[in-house]
């Protein structure tokens, strides 16, 4: 069987081959999955996927990452991450992602040495560079390489090459950690993350393809705190799911109530990346 070829793919294979051995920061999303798939193809056992496990990683995403790594055939390691214990992360200011990624890359550096690997790499692509993503600074400070950026991949290139290689999630919708569902200034807690993740999992089980549960406090916050049962769920569905979500609103509302949300609202703008960033003056997720 002929090995698929593509200009972007050829560059990526060549670059990873030059690295000799890599630790791939692998979330289970399509970007890091492609890097892991190519690294495994080129380097075999000298490529290791590492997934950081914390309350901000939805259980369904963890399970999906494990399953995909098995399909790829790569070595895959789950490691515990403790960013939620960092007060700077808990307070949930606009730079929260910096502290999350700093913890990820701190762990990666330790495991890189433990597993005798030459480089730590991530799944950042060129389209990410135009976003407000403090985690990019953490990667730079840690010396983490971004093969997709170095090989000039945009998101469309990632999906095209992943499909070419038969990566089954080539068209998977974008995903992000559960903490991104909380407005800035609202503390990140284990209880809130479990509440959000549980409802999202149930909505996905109902057949919705893309959904975000945005958590909003009802009434004033005191030092960033509010009872998790005194919260509103602002639900963002993908464009193809929006009408169906309205038609099945009774089922959707019942699910939200079971997870402790007092009120449930459907965001008529639908899903968009990083909607909580829309309140940041000059720091919208997509800078245009």
Strand order in the sheet with 47-53: 75-80, 47-53, 22-25, 119-121
Give start-end residues of each CATH 3.30.70 domain in the chain. Answer: 178-279
pLDDT of residue 133: 83
Q: Is 32 exposed, middle or buried (0-12, 13-18, 19+ CB in 10 A)?
A: buried
pLDDT of residue 1: 44
Give 171-197 pLDDT, tens digit per residue: 998 889 999 999 999 999 999 999 999
What is the topology classification, in CATH, of domain 178-279? Alpha-Beta Plaits (3.30.70)
Give 200-249 pLDDT, tens digit per residue: 999 999 999 999 999 999 875 544 455 556 899 999 999 999 999 999 99
pLDDT of residue 287: 27
Shortest CA distance to 28 belongs to which of 7, 57, 4? Answer: 57
Give start-end residues of each CATH 3.40.50.620 domain in the chain. Answer: 7-165
* CA–CA distance, 139 with 105 (Å, rounded to integer): 7
pTM > 0.85: yes
Residue with tokens 């762990």: 107
Shortest CA distance to 255 belongs to which of 264, 243, 244, 246? Answer: 264
pLDDT of residue 226: 52
Shortest CA distance to 177 belongs to which of 188, 187, 169? Answer: 188
* CA–CA distance, 185 with 177 (Å, rounded to integer): 17
φ, ψ for residue 207, nearest 5 deg: 105, 0
HEC string of the chain?
Answer: CCCCCCHHHHHHHHHHHHHCCEEEECCCCHHHHHHHHHHHHHHHHHEEEEEEECCCCCHHHHHHHHHHHHHHCCEEEEEECCHHHCHHHHCCCCCHHHHHHHHHHHHHHHHHHHCCCCEEECCCCHHHHHECCCHHHHHHHHCCECHHHHCCCCHHHHHHHHHHHCCCCCCCCCCCCHHHHCCCCCCCCHHHHHHHHHHHHHHHHCCCCCEEEEEEECCCCECCECCCCCEEEEEEECCCCHHHHHHCHHHHHHHHHHCCCCEEEECCCCCCCCHHHHHCCCCCCECC
Say which CATH superfamily domain 7-165 falls into.
Answer: HUPs (3.40.50.620)
Half-sphere exposure of 154 (CA within 13 A, CB side): 3
Q: Tens of pLDDT along the chain (288 residues)?
A: 456 779 999 999 999 999 999 999 999 999 999 999 999 999 999 999 999 999 999 999 999 999 999 999 999 999 999 999 999 999 999 999 999 999 999 999 999 999 999 999 999 999 999 767 899 999 999 999 999 999 999 999 999 999 999 999 999 988 899 999 999 999 999 999 999 999 999 999 999 999 999 999 987 554 445 555 689 999 999 999 999 999 999 999 999 999 999 999 999 999 987 555 565 554 443 322
Percent of the chain scored above 70 by pLDDT? 89
């Amino acid at each position: 069987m002929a090995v698929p070829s593509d200009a972007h793919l050829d560059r990526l294979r060549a670059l990873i081959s030059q690295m000799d051995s890599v630790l791939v920061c692998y979330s289970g999303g399509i970007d890091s999955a492609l890097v892991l798939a190519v690294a495994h193809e080129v380097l075999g056992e000298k490529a290791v996927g590492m997934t950081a496990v914390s309350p901000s990683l939805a259980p369904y995403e963890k399970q999906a990452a494990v399953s995909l790594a098995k399909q790829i055939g790569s070595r895959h390691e789950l490691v515990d991450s403790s960013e939620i214990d960092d007060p700077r992360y808990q307070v949930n200011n606009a730079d929260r992602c910096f502290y999350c990624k700093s913890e990820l890359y701190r762990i990666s550096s330790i495991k890189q040495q433990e597993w005798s690997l030459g480089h730590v790499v991530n799944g950042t692509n060129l389209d990410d560079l135009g976003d407000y993503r403090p985690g990019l600074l953490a990667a730079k400070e840690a010396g983490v390489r971004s093969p997709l950026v170095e090989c000039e991949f945009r998101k469309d290139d990632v999906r095209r090459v992943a499909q070419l290689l038969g990566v089954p999630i080539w068209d998977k919708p974008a995903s992000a950690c559960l903490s991104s569902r909380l407005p800035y200034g609202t503390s990140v807690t284990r209880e809130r993350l479990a509440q959000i993740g549980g409802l999202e999992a149930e909505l996905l089980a109902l057949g919705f393809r893309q959904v975000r549960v945005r958590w909003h406090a009802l009434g004033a916050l005191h030092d960033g705190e509010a009872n998790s049962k005194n919260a509103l769920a602002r639900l963002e569905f993908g464009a193809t799911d929006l009408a169906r979500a309205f038609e099945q609103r009774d089922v959707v509302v019942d699910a939200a109530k079971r997870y402790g949300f007092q009120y449930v609202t459907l965001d008529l703008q639908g899903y968009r990346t990083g909607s909580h960033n829309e309140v940041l003056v000059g720091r919208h997720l997509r800078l245009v």
